[in-house]
């Protein structure tokens, strides 16, 4: 079994990177891969219902991308880009509580603490304050690109972000977010704000297609995993076993556990929509139990998948942890051969690109 980073490389034609979505979500192409035989079928995503039967379970990640790219102004002058990653949870707050007040006495301002990413080459020191609309953002630590900040604001922070902040498109799109991205870089079933990147396998689904699957007897289950910017970080070690996976936060509801556990007990198929849904389910394992928490699971070959039987996923970057995950679900050789075929047939790649279903 290869654990060398270079063995997950493939030649990427830049012109196949999808910088914009298709006119309609379900007009993307679908490559169906039989992971046992390596045989492929080339279809349209709108016909994906042909691969489902009554009693199958389809698992969505209902996390919602929020505008988290802030262009701020330093009180003493100058601009600073800040990318919000996630709001600190209760147990994380104790790490800063000893040094910084968690309440602002005598004001009506609210106060949150966040993990953020900035350009590590910019000189931003502990105590530096930046302004964003009617928010103030103070840095609580000194070094690195990942920092902790205190945000003081009034009103609804997410409403303010929706109005004034930017959607953080993946770096390979090489463009600024536009109005169309507010709708299209978001699944139609997104509910829980918290992702800095879309769970892109779900971008192909329309309300009509979901209704068609339900009418066929397919059971819909949901998890929440907030996708962080670490999903785009390159693997920087030659031996992938030495790679440290980024942490992401998830919620696995009781209803989802019940639907999936019963399906597994009865031998019915569970199909994960995306690597994010997969990471939640495989982090917990069978029998699934409702919980919220963090996962840094790194799935690469070989991996014994406990929960999912099939996977819907977009095409992924060379040498990425996502490519390693899908290789674990089939095999590295089969996935790379399938990618070669997709590239020859001019499939559109990555977030706004076409889709695979591995079964």
150: domain CATH number is 2.40.10.240
Distance between CA atoms of residues 316 and 53, nearest Å? 28
Average pLDDT on 266-283 reads 98
**Domain boundary, last residue among 101, 135, 164:** 164
> Is residue 81 predicted with pLDDT exceeding 70?
yes
Mean pLDDT, residues 278-297 taken together = 97
The residue-averaged pLDDT of 112-122 equals 88
The residue-averaged pLDDT of 127-149 equals 91
User: What residues contact residue 167 under an 8 Å CB cut-off, 6+ apart?
Assistant: 65, 67, 69, 177, 181, 182, 185
- Report whether pLDDT(151) > 50: yes
Q: Average the pLDDT over 16-33 and give the result.
A: 98
Q: Are residues 93 and 32 in the same domain?
A: no
pLDDT of residue 236: 94
Q: 165 pLDDT band (50/70/90 cuts)? A: very high
Domain annotation covers residue 242? yes
Judge whether residue 96 has pLDDT over 70. no
3-class SS at 178?
A: coil
Task: Please give the residue that has the higher pLDDT: either 314 or 76.
Answer: 314
CB 323, CB 334: distance < 8 Å: no
> Does residue 59 or residue 228 have the better pLDDT?
59
Q: Confidence class of residue 104 from pLDDT cuts 50, 70 and 90?
A: very low
Please tell me the predicted confidence (pLDDT) of residue 229: 84
Q: What is the pLDDT of residue 106?
A: 45
Q: Is the pLDDT of residue 182 over 80?
A: yes
Whole-angstrom Cα distance, residue 280 to residue 221? 13
Mean pLDDT of 323-327: 98
Q: Which residue has the tokens 């299209």?
A: 184
Task: Based on the fold, state whether residues 188 and 299 are members of the same structural domain.
Answer: yes
Helices (DSSP H) in 247-353: which residue ranges? 254-265, 274-284, 321-329, 332-344
Residue 172 falls within a domain, yes or no?
no
Q: What is the model's pLDDT at position 6?
A: 97
The mean pLDDT of the chain is 93
Residue with tokens 């929960």: 307
292 bridge partner residues: 251
Q: Examine the pLDDT at 75 and tell me if it is beyond 80.
A: no
3-state class percentages of the chain: helix first, strand second, coil last, to nearest 5: 30, 25, 45
Which residues make beta-bridge pairs with 117?
83, 146
Is the model's pLDDT at 101 over the cut of 60?
no
Return the pLDDT at 353: 98
Q: Distance between CA atoms of 255 and 264, rounded to whole angstroms?
A: 14
Domain-embedded: residue 171: no
Number of domains in the chain: 2
- The per-residue pLDDT for 102 is 47
In the predicted structure, residue 251 carries a pLDDT above the cut 90: yes
Residue 194 sits in the same domain as residue 269: yes
Do 279 and 306 lie in one domain? The reply is yes
Residues 335 and 189 reside in one and the same domain: yes
Provide the phi-psi class of 166: left if phi over 0, else alpha when psi is between -120 and 50, else beta. Answer: beta
Does one domain contain both 139 and 217? no
User: Is residue 99 pLDDT above 70, yes or no?
Assistant: no
State the pLDDT confidence band at 110, using cuts at 50, 70 and 90.
confident
Last residue of a domain, one of 131, 164, 197: 164
The verdict on 49 and 89 lying in the same domain is no
Cis before residue 287, ω within 30 degrees of 0? yes
* pLDDT of 231: 81
Q: What integer pLDDT is reported at residue 233 of this predicted model? A: 83
Shared-domain flag, residues 227 and 106: no
Task: Specify whether 291 is located in the same domain as 337.
Answer: yes
Whether residue 173 lies inside any domain: the answer is no
- Average pLDDT of the segment spanning 215-226: 98
Same domain for 186 and 235, yes or no, is: yes
- Residues 160 and 234 placed together within one structural domain of the fold: no
pLDDT category of residue 78 using cuts at 50, 70 and 90: confident
Say whether pLDDT at 103 is over 80. no
| Residue numbers of the domain that contains 90 | 69-164
**Cβ partners under 8 Å of residue 91, min gap 6:** none
The residue among 11 and 246 whose pLDDT is bigger is 11
Tell whether 58 and 81 lie within a shared domain.
no
> Residue 230 falls within a domain, yes or no?
yes
User: What's residue 91's pLDDT?
Assistant: 64
């Amino acid at each position: 079994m290869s654990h060398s980073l270079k063995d997950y490389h493939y030649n990427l034609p830049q012109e196949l990177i999808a910088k914009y979505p298709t006119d309609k979500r379900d007009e993307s192409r679908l490559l169906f891969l039989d992971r046992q035989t390596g045989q492929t079928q080339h279809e349209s995503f709108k016909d994906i219902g042909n691969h489902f039967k009554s009693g199958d379970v389809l698992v969505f990640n209902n996390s919602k991308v929020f505008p988290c790219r802030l262009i701020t102004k330093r009180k003493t002058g100058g601009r600073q880009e800040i990318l919000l990653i996630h709001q600190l949870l209760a147990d994380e707050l104790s790490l800063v509580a000893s040094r910084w007040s968690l309440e602002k006495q005598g004001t009506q301002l609210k106060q949150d603490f966040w993990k953020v990413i900035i350009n590590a080459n910019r000189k931003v020191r502990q105590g530096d304050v930046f302004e964003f609309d009617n928010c103030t953002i103070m840095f609580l630590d000194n070094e690195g690109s990942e920092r902790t900040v205190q945000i003081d604001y009034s009103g609804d922070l997410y409403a303010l972000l929706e109005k004034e902040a930017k959607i953080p498109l993946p770096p390979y799109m090489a463009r600024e977010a536009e109005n169309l991205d507010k709708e299209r870089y978001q699944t139609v079933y997104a509910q829980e704000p918290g992702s800095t990147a879309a769970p892109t396998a779900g971008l192909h689904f329309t309300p009509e297609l979901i209704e068609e699957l339900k009418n066929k007897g397919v059971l819909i289950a949901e998890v929440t995993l907030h996708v962080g910017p670490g999903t785009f970080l390159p693997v920087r070690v030659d031996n992938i076993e030495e790679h440290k996976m980024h942490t992401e936060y998830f919620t696995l509801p009781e209803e989802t556990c019940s639907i999936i556990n019963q399906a597994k007990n009865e031998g019915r198929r569970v199909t994960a929509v995306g690597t994010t849904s997969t990471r939640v389910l495989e982090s917990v394992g069978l029998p699934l139990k409702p919980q919220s928490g963090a996962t840094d699971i790194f799935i690469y070959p070989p991996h014994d998948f406990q929960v999912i039987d099939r996977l819907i996923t977009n095409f992924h970057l060379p040498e990425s942890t996502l490519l390693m995950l899908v290789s674990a679900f089939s095999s590295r050789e089969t996935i790379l051969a399938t990618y070669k075929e997709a590239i020859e047939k001019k499939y559109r790649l990555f977030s706004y690109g076409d889709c695979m279903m591995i079964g």
